[in-house]
Structures are given as structure tokens and as C-alpha cells.
Amino acid sequence: MGANLQSRARGSGEETIRRSALPSIGRSFSSAWRLALRNLLQDRLRFALTVLAVGLPLMLILFLLGLRAGARRSAVVYLDNAPGSVAVLPQGARTTAAGSARFLAPEVADKVASTAGVGGQ
């Protein structure tokens, strides 16, 4: 009998079923956020440690990306302002960076230096 009174008060029984089957999206969305926030703040120490555990690696990744971009930029600036237009590198060298640990053999360096227009001649 209670269901019958409820359907009369709201309209036909079909409307009552439709309204209960499709709850308001705004209400369910805000209640989900409230529930998530309450769960996060329930154990504050765990929440703080989790934020640190996610934030620290993210900060380190951003730092390393910035470091790499800075090293590339300084290499480009160095090559753009170098006194010559050709860089002589040993076979297999892929970069002009100081950390590449590849050096020219002394005889190759002497041959390059003896070339006209190279080595201050």
C-alpha cells in the first residue's frame, strides 16, 4: 500500500521507476568525490607518504629531463660559436659531448693539425 501511495503522490508508477533507475549524475559524482576525499584523509600519514612516493620520482624525472635539455642546448651553443665549421670526431662517435670518452689517435690529430687552415695555420 505504501508503494501505491508513493506512485500516486509522484505520478504514475512508470515515472517512479524511471526516476529511481536514473539517479542524478551531479549527486552521485559529488558523493563519489566526498567518499574518495574521506578515504584519503582517513589515514593522514599513509596519504602523506603516498604523495611523497609519487611526487619524488616525478620531480626527479622532470629534473633529469631539464638537465638533458640543458646539456643539449649548451652543446648546440658551443657548436654554433666554435671557431671552425667542422668537428673532427673519431670513428663511431655520435656526440661532441665531453663525456663521450672517445679521443682521436695522436697520429690522426697530428694529420688534422697539419692540414692547411687548421690549427692556427
pTM for this prediction: 0.46
Contact 112, 90 (CB under 8 A): no
DSSP H stretches of helix in 22-87: 25-42, 44-80
Q: Rounded distance, CA 46 to CA 44, Å?
A: 5
29-59 pLDDT tens trace: 788 889 988 988 898 999 999 999 999 999 9
What's at 50, amino acid-wise?
T
74-113 pLDDT tens trace: 888 887 887 766 777 777 777 766 655 566 778 887 888 7
